Structure 1
Amino acid sequence: MSPDDPLLTILACPLDKGPLTLLDDGDALYNPRLRRRYPIVDGIPQLLPSSGEPVSDEEHARFSERAGTP
């Protein structure tokens, strides 16, 4: 998945229904509000609530810094 993929405009977090951010390496989508990462496997986002992984404070800071979000 690439940053300009039109699919990114309609994908939403399965828990809070908010927008997701594509991480720099393109292998996961991130919800900064809930601090959860959803993997992308073979180009398919895994957006089941159970697929989301919590991230550490350090990872959240790094992801937010790259995305320019608080």
Structure 2
Amino acid sequence: MADTRKNEPQVDVKFLELLACPLTKGPLSWDGERSELVSQLAKLAYPVRGGIPIMLPSQARRLTED
């Protein structure tokens, strides 16, 4: 059976659990569908590109209230 996901590198979720939001110092949750680390406190989602978290607020996506 072929893998239908993009050729994204696997992300070690245990490693990501060690990271904190650079603005709030609060916890982050992993959104595997979007390859993002989400800070509910800051209302930001930090991208993970090539298996590397981009922890810059200027690169983060602002969360909307859906």
Name the TM-score, length of structure 1 as normaliser: 0.69
Q: Which is higher, the Rg of structure 1 or of structure 2?
A: 2
Counterpart selection for 1:57 from 40, 43, 65:
65
User: How many residue pairs are counted as aligned between the two chains?
Assistant: 56
Alignment-mate amino acid for residue 37 of structure 1: A
Which residues of structure 2 form unaligned runs of 5+? 1-10
- Report the CA distance between 1:32 and its aligned residue: 0.9
Structure 1 stretches of at least 4 aligned residues deviating more than 4 Å after TM superposition: none
User: Cα RMSD between the aligned structures?
Assistant: 1.5
Name the structure 2 match of 1:20: 28
Identical positions, percent: 34
- Cα deviation, residue 45, structure 1: 0.5
